[in-house]
Amino acid sequence: MTRALALATSPGVPLGPNPRVGCVLLSPMGTTLAEGFHRGAGSPHAEVDALARAGDRARGATAVVTLEPCNHTGRTGPCAEALVAAGVARVVYAQADTNPVAEGGAATLRRAGVEVVGGLLADEARAVNREWTFAVEHGRPFVTWKFATTLDGRSAAADGTSRWVSSRPARIDTHRLRARCDTILVGTETVLVDDPQLTVRDEADENLPRERQLLRAVMGLRDVPADRRVRDDAADFVHLRTRDPHEALGALFARDRQHVFLEGGPTLAAAFLRAGLVDEVVAYVAPMLLGTGRSAVGDLGVTTIADAWHLAVTDVTVLGEGEETNVRLTMTPQDRKEDND
């Protein structure tokens, strides 16, 4: 299973919209017959890839796969039926498939007389497809909120300037994080005031566009003028005419989007936080003080320290050096529960 997980994360495999899956076929003696992995939407699934490589040797084999074999016909046929047709005797999978469209593969295999064992290294398999798993189980995309701030919590100076709050190493790192998502979301205010292009650019040269681009989503009721850079032909664009974060994420989920990179201003960030729709926070903190200026986040309804929002720190990384230093904090919001005592 460890080998199957490594196959699932082979270089070049996209993070979505399909889950990353690896498969190893073993002979009755335990030797490897063939390996396979899914290379993205429309390509053969991992099990079918491995079966094609094994040919007739698959009869009587054990298939070790990172995700429960699918049970539906989409761009490709059901993997559960392909395993049965190949004569596979046993299937061991890690993560159960809770996608209502594809679930039920284990039951199909058992009805056909195939021995099935599930749950081996399930947590590790879930980690391989963190955002896909979250989206399937919650019915909305996973949301990563990214912002840059000074040590005293300012995202811009009093005159609105903000260019050096995030250092060049931090900006390059931001493009790396953007590339892990399938959607970047901002509010209309950000588009009207800053006119960002919202594309993913190369780590070595932040002015060089990458081939894989995100869906650029703008949320708000105001019109987005045709001359804004977010509407150029560098990537797809959608205007979500709503102020409701739940409605915005619902519209993106309907477009098969699973990981949203939230880069809007303080008002939009506060709206998502208060709605309980931020799943990960990435903050780039500059070792500088402004004293006044725009806050990194808007009103969260906190009037006393007892009501403060708490986040669990999962990673701390120093980027750059000297005046180009930023500290990247990766955090997870903690569940907020009302105190009824």
* Second-level CATH architecture of 141-333: 3-Layer(aba) Sandwich (3.40)
CB 213 within 8 A of CB 199: yes
Q: How far apart are CA 148 and CA 165, in angstroms?
A: 6
Q: Is the dihedral of CA 265, 274, 257, 329 positive or negative?
A: positive
pLDDT at 102: 67
Q: Which pLDDT score, from 0 to 100, does residue 39 have?
A: 93
Dist CA 45 CA 38 (whole Å): 5
pLDDT in tens, the chain (341 residues): 999 999 999 998 888 888 999 999 999 999 999 999 999 888 999 999 999 999 999 999 999 999 999 987 776 679 999 999 999 999 999 999 988 776 789 999 999 999 999 999 999 999 999 999 999 999 999 999 999 999 999 998 888 777 778 889 999 999 999 989 999 999 999 999 889 999 987 654 555 445 567 999 999 999 999 999 999 998 999 999 999 999 999 999 999 999 999 998 999 999 999 999 999 999 999 999 999 988 999 999 999 999 999 999 999 999 999 888 999 999 999 986 544 33
Q: For residue 267, which phi and psi values (nearest 5 degrees)?
A: -70, -45
Whole-Å CA distances, 130 to 63, 136, 292: 23, 10, 38
- C-beta separation of 301 from 276 below 8 A: no
pTM above 0.75, yes or no: yes
> β-strands 62-67, 22-26: how paired?
antiparallel
The phi and psi torsions of 71 (rounded to 5 degrees) equal -130, 25
Has 190 been labeled as part of a binding site? yes
Cβ partners under 8 Å of residue 90, min gap 6: 61, 62, 63, 114, 115, 116, 117
Any binding-site annotation on 162? yes
148 annotated to bind ligand? yes
Residue the block writes with tokens 């939230």: 262
Angstrom distances, CA of residue 107 to CA of 11, 70, 112, 172 = 32, 11, 9, 47
> Is 269 assigned to a binding site?
yes
Nearest Cα neighbor of 198 from 219, 180, 184 is 184
Q: What pLDDT does 336 receive?
A: 63
- What tokens does 248 get? 């915005």
Q: Tell whether 315 is in a known binding site.
A: no
Domain ranges of the chain: 2-134, 141-333
Q: Is 270 annotated as a binding residue?
A: yes
Provide the pLDDT for residue 211. Answer: 56
Residues carrying an active site annotation: 47
φ, ψ for residue 60 (rounded to 5)?
85, 5
- Residue 153 known to bind ligand: no
d(CA 55, CA 34): 9
Determine the Cα–Cα distance for residues 138 and 258; give it in Å rounded to an integer: 10
CA distances from 233 to 68, 198, 230, 240, 252 (A): 39, 12, 9, 18, 20
Q: Which CATH number fits domain 2-134: 3.40.140.10, 3.40.50.720, 3.40.50.1100, 3.20.20.140?
A: 3.40.140.10
Confirm whether residue 159 is marked as ligand binding.
no
Is 181 annotated as belonging to a binding site? no
Closest CA to 164 of 176, 148, 184: 148
pLDDT of residue 331: 97
